[in-house]
Structure 1
Amino acid sequence: MRVAVAGGTGWVGRMVVEAVRAAGDEPVVLARSAGVDLTTGAGLDEALHGCATVIDVSNVTTTSRRKSVAFFDAATTHLLSAGARAGVGHHLALSIVGCDRVEFGYYMGKRRQEELVLSGPVPNTVLRATQFHEFAAQMLARRGPVMAPRMRSQPIAAREVADALVRLAGAAPAGLAPDLAGPEVLEMDDMVRRLARARGERRLLVPVRLPGAAGRAIAGGALLPAGDGVRGRQTFAQWLTTPDAGVRGR
């Protein structure tokens, strides 16, 4: 089966591509480097030819509501329209646990994505996941002092999210699926501190609460799963011993 992966060159996208291949299917990467522009639709019809499923893990790095909504509106609309023309039977989108409860600019775009997918012309599944263990590594990738957000999270390994998406791709469309989260509740600034220590990095880490109601909600646990759902197995401590953590000698 040919499975299209939108955003297949990104951090999570590469893991989804690997998981698709490990499942015995043929991944088709949808990205600018592969001649596909999700925001304009260029190259989509050709790329989706013969694809049975689309897994959308495309992303935009912004805190701006305008930019986030514009990206997800355009990318999702083009993906769904091209998927309907190509006869795609299942469209899966990765979203975020709690994005419907926090008034944060980026999350507004994810809400728009969910709305389009769930009401769209292609049978669908939306999987909301919590923050990844890898989010701590993204914080450390920036130069200078590390501004770590005050955030209560139930983090999960990105590889477990990728595997979950591929499993859902082989099942019947489910609409809004149960939340996917990790096995334990942690504070994001503590995760960043632990990763820096494991890497032997001496960095100034400044815990920062995001402003306003959104910051209070994120710090207070609004991004935690609200009900039952699938739970990952790998703890953050276990993840720190894997190559994904970027710790020397691993």
Structure 2
Amino acid sequence: MKIAVAGGTGMVGRHVVDVARERGHEVVVLARATGVDLTTGDGLESALAGVDAVVDVTSTVTQDAQASRAFFDAVTRHLLAAGERAGVAHHVMLGIVGSDRAAGGYYVGKVHQEQLVESGAVRWTILRATQFHEFAQQLHGQVTVGPLVLVPVMRSEPVAAREVAERLVTLAAGEPVGRATDLGGPDVRRMVDMVRAYARRAGDRRPVLALPLPGRLGRGMRNGALLTRDGADHGTTSFETWLSSITPDAGR
């Protein structure tokens, strides 16, 4: 079948593209690098010609709720409208476990994205997954005070991006199911421990400290709102396995 991957050059998108091609699907990458601007819709109409399913793994680098909502509003509306006109039969979206329970910052946009997909004309599937192993790498060094590296107090259930991609491709190749079973990682970790482990791997000896974030989002990070509930599926790749497989940028 022909699968379009929105955000196919990103961290998860690259895995989705690889898995889909390994399984014999024809893949169309929807990204600026391939001439498609999802925020404006430029190039999208022609790119979706003959596409059977769209997998949306787009993301944006912001913790501002308004900016996140605006990004996902534009991208999702363009994808759904163009998909309907092109006759796309299945729209698959990657969501975040607990985004509605800890709504704030980036998660505001993800909740809005789900609402748009659920009310759209294209039949849909939404897979919610927990944070990826790579989240520790992304947080490392984002916020510093002098020699200190600061990370939020957070309980996480890290999952391998590759395993999420495998599930997304499986779902895309099947019939729309609405809300798919949530996918989490094999165990629950403290984010500060994960970032410290990544820092050691990167050769960074700066102290890593955890600070509680204020508001609903911070409470959700601390109290487990972003963890899976009973009935979820779980990946098998551990954080240590992922960590041993990467070559981090020294000195970051």
TM range (shorter): over 0.9
Q: Once the 2 structures are TM-superposed, how far is the Cα of residue 53 of structure 1 from its aligned partner?
A: 0.7
Q: Once the 2 structures are TM-superposed, how far is the Cα of residue 190 of structure 1 from its aligned partner?
A: 0.5
More off after superposition, 193-202 vs 38-47: 193-202
**1:240 touches 1:247 (CA, 8 Å); kept in 2?**
no
**1:30 touches 1:36 (CA, 8 Å); kept in 2?**
yes
Deviations 1:142-169, CA, capped at 9 Å, x for gaps? 4854321211011101111111101111
Report the counterpart of residue 91 of structure 1 in structure 2: 91
Moved segments of 4+, more than 4 Å: 141-145
Report the counterpart of residue 48 of structure 2 in structure 1: 48
Q: Distance in 2 between matches of 1:12 and 1:33?
A: 16
Q: Distance in 1 between matches of 2:173 and 2:214?
A: 41
SS at match of 1:4: strand
Q: Once the 2 structures are TM-superposed, how far is the Cα of residue 171 of structure 1 from its aligned partner?
A: 1.4
**2:40 touches 2:75 (CA, 8 Å); kept in 1?**
yes
**1:155 touches 1:182 (CA, 8 Å); kept in 2?**
yes
Equivalent position to 1:147, from 137, 150, 166? 150
Q: How many residues align?
A: 247
Equivalent position to 1:193, from 191, 196, 206? 196
> Which consecutive residues of structure 1, in runs of 5 or more, have no partner in the other structure?
none
Deviations 1:88-144, CA, capped at 9 Å, x for gaps? 111100010000111312111111110111121111100100000010111236485
The answer as to 2:166 corresponding to 1:167 is no
**1:118 touches 1:176 (CA, 8 Å); kept in 2?**
no
SS at match of 2:244: coil
Q: Once the 2 structures are TM-superposed, how far is the Cα of residue 178 of structure 1 from its aligned partner?
A: 1.3
Q: Once the 2 structures are TM-superposed, how far is the Cα of residue 247 of structure 1 from its aligned partner?
A: 8.4
Report the counterpart of residue 136 of structure 1 in structure 2: 136
Change (3 A) 1:180 1:116: same
The answer as to 2:214 corresponding to 1:211 is yes
SS at match of 1:75: helix
**2:141 touches 2:150 (CA, 8 Å); kept in 1?**
no
TM superposition score normalised by structure 1: 0.94
Q: Distance in 2 between matches of 1:219 and 1:170?
A: 36
Report the counterpart of residue 100 of structure 1 in structure 2: 100
Specify the code of the residue in structure 2 equivalent to 1:97: V
> Which consecutive residues of structure 2, in runs of 5 or more, have no partner in the other structure?
none
Percent identity between the two aligned chains: 53
Change (3 A) 1:9 1:70: same
Q: Distance in 2 between matches of 1:68 and 1:247?
A: 28
Report the counterpart of residue 121 of structure 1 in structure 2: 121
The answer as to 2:221 corresponding to 1:233 is no
Q: Once the 2 structures are TM-superposed, how far is the Cα of residue 195 of structure 1 from its aligned partner?
A: 1.6
Q: Distance in 2 between matches of 1:103 and 1:143?
A: 21
Report the counterpart of residue 183 of structure 1 in structure 2: 186
Could you say what the CA RMSD is over the residues aligned between the two structures, in angstroms? 1.6
Q: Distance in 2 between matches of 1:190 and 1:229?
A: 24
Deviations 1:13-58, CA, capped at 9 Å, x for gaps? 1111111111111211111121111111111001101111100000
Q: Distance in 1 between matches of 2:180 and 2:197?
A: 32
Q: Once the 2 structures are TM-superposed, how far is the Cα of residue 194 of structure 1 from its aligned partner?
A: 1.1
Specify the code of the residue in structure 1 equivalent to 2:29: V
Q: Distance in 2 between matches of 1:103 and 1:48?
A: 32
